[in-house]
Structure 1
Amino acid sequence: MSNTKQNGSIIAIITMMFLYAMISFVTNLAAPIGVIWKNAFGGASANTVGMLGNAMNFLAYAFMGIPAGKMLSRVGYKRTALIGIAVGFFGVLTQFCSGFFVEAKTVGFVIYLLGAFISGFCVCMLNTVTNPMLNLIGGGGNRGNQLNMIGGTLNSLAGTLTPLFVGALIGQVTKETSMLDVNPVLYIAMGVFAMAFIILSFIPIEDPAIGKTDSSTVFEHSPWAFRHFVLGVIAIFVYVGVEVGIPGTLIYYLSDTKADGGGLPIMTATAIAGSVAATYWLLMLVGRFIAGFIADKISSRTMMLCTTIIAIALLATAMILGKSIAVSMPVFTGKAFEMVTVPICALLFVLCGLCTSVMWSCIFNLATEGLGKYTASASGIFMMMVVGGGLLPLLQNFVADNAGYMLSYIVPLAGVVYMCFYALIGSRNVNKNIPVN
């Protein structure tokens, strides 16, 4: 009996790991594809336009976060995941259809934004499933955090490969570059979704008993009654904005050949922008991989505090130095690592990937610790606030359009400062008197 239960847990863990990768694959399509729309429309607000697809992707969280949490409680983890995968297929299909409107680019852009919005519903539902299930299977605490770290490693791997795929397909972006140039990536995405739906349909996954509720469960309070959860919701809002905004804006900065841009030759800039951003995600993979081995020995609070302090130092130094110094850094181009010359700020921004790699699971673990029967609804609220990944990068690129790229990084810097506060003070559960059984 115990062997059967253990095998079921292993299958569930592997499935959640795969879903982790799919979440990143869909989410990270937005920034590199945004370069196409940025160049297609141009103008003084080009960066803001380019980031709209990413904004729509994350805006979906605001609408789907709480319903996804309720869906988790009513239909279970497996059915929620299957519905999310089906929605993801149609989201990518809609983005694919935008490529047929090459001449009517405004119509095509609207259809693309709709597809990004639908895809956002998908990643919201999948996120709602993966995080609490891995945390609950691990029994919470450091072990639950460790499983989420390992899942985050696969998430980062998909995040590394996505901009490389898109960058290799579109090459140098011009006004003639269209969505048709990234069709192979969209074909792959739809194929993966279809295959995942079929495979998951046959995998027996039993919902974890911890935190499970039914119609007889009485909820005297809500997750909002817990101070550490409320502050954690804010922390996840700013975290996702920081995680997405740093590499997303970096792509635009390096591919911008104007005075405030990366200061690189046109061919060099367009060739390496996506690869540099991919290296950021690769470092997130490295960070999560390492953390997966040590997370059961180091508390989430300690890990969060150390990484936020380092990130503050990196961001502040990058903003001060800008492109005053050119440095060489190894960049993964899809086939091998190559040494390329970039402004020193680009190297420092990329190194932030090591820090942001562990923040999501640390915040989620700290914010949901001790919630018991409120975990499922808390997860839905948490997902709603992931909308920060769309709003903060949009704000950052608005600042970039009007005040310059370096000053725009004040947005993620402020976010990291808040997360440091959360790790130090805000994450402590001061509401232990509330019954959670």
Structure 2
Amino acid sequence: MSTRRIHRLDASAAGFDAQLDALLHFDQGTDDAVQQAVTEVLAAVRKQGDAAVVEYTRKFDKLDVAGIEALDLPRRELQVALDGLSKEQRAALETAAERVRVYHERQLLQSWTFQEADGTRLGQKVTPLDRVGLYVPGGKASYPSSVLMNAIPAKVAGVGELIMVSPTPRGERNPLVLAAAAITGVDRVITIGGAQAVAALAYGTQSIPQVDKIVGPGNAYVAEAKRRVFGTVGIDMVAGPSEVLIISDGTGEPDWVAMDLFAQAEHDEVAQSILLCTDADFIERVAHSIERLLPTMPRAEIIAASLANRGALVKVASLDQACELANRIAAEHLELSLADAEPWVEKIRHAGAIFIGHHSVEALGDYCAGPNHVLPTMRSARFSSPLGVYDFQKRSSLIHMSQAGARALAPVAATLAYGEGLQAHARSAEMRAEGHAD
């Protein structure tokens, strides 16, 4: 591949804004075939329950099973998978899990109250969700890190029951995924996938209870199903292609930057990898590193397509301009590959995760740094946040009015209610000022 196929942009050139907008644009619309298929699956599972789930599992995963019970993995199988790992794999999984747990324990929200002078008490009650469904892709494309990043915050939050669904096409099970389920304390693992698994979790079946929220990544059918069941249950997000934005001042190693761009691009052909750099010579050095290193990558074709489709090397006039563009792009991952990165963190308002300095590489964040790797994509970092413990907790307002407080506020509420034409609201408030309750 030639780096001439990567977009080469100059932020000071005429037409740059339009070029950047075109580069960032991604149509996340679902094609008609996917929508129709998901519609049929959701309707069938809602109506037929277990029977539909089993039938779709036979059809799509090529598993000849009689019922859901054959797809339910006993906990001993999870432990067998954990015990069967090499010492190196088990140590890596346990180290990553512990780091993720320690980080997320700091996110726990606590209930609180305060009391006003007249005795009125106001506050907030924080409670965990009762039951959560975790979708994990199965077969060869399996990600144990996704189990850690979704299951651990749920458990830290105190979720009552965590049900993991993961397809096993033709019976193929990923031992690392099952081991991750064992380490994180997943309560139940069912080997189903696709839109039918999402439907089962969202609506409930004879054997699978309805959950309160569904989290975890999946293919286009899973994403569409999650989008469609939102409102019946909560979801984490409908994620777009993965993204990295690197800001460089020309210091550091061009090979490192090239590999960081590759690490994002190897996800798929529509992943996005962008470099913003103040040093034109360093951009050329990165381009040469891309040329030299790309043929050594096992996923070279995917990386090449991704860089050609949505990748860019961008010359910027200053780090201030780079930070302005970063806030406009609002990338999932932002690497500040700078000699002195810390002062620039305050300039960043919109990013899913900020990696500070040459050694803070996204790959460490994806697996074991501690913060969650489930991050907002498609510029949604402008208004949303990484997955965390707070996504598995909900808040209830606490209102305990004293008699004096109710009398004092009744005229305020009544005036506003009459103004809105809601007379019953007004009278309900006024009655608290007029009489006494035993």
Higher helix share: 1
More strand by share: 2
Task: Give the TM bin, normalised by the shorter chain.
Answer: under 0.3
Rg larger in structure: 2
Higher relative contact order (CA 8 A, sep 6+): 1
